[in-house]
Amino acid sequence: MSAAPSALQALVGRALIDAPFRKALVADTRGTLMREGYSFDEATLTAIEAATKDPERVRSFSEAFSAEFLARGEYVC
């Protein structure tokens, strides 16, 4: 049995598959996280905000996860 995903893993997974959530996260990171019930320490919040404000970082992150999912065959059509 695998461990339950952490809040950060759940956030990343949701951001990858839920376009409206991802757009809201980029537009208002802290507000979106609060509305959705996510709770992170200040350092993590700051890192998430920095990542969502850097288009190149978001793109490369997305590509890395896409490649990993493809390698595992985990895409669900």
- Residue 77 is predicted with a pLDDT of 46
Confidence band, pLDDT 50/70/90 cuts, at residue 33 = very high
Residue with the two structure tokens 């978001």:
58
Residues 16, 62: contact at Cβ < 8 Å?
yes
38 or 77, greater pLDDT? 38
Contact 17, 48 (CB under 8 A): no
Q: What is this structure's pTM?
A: 0.66
Q: Taking residues 26-31, report their average pLDDT.
A: 93
Average pLDDT over residues 23-38: 93
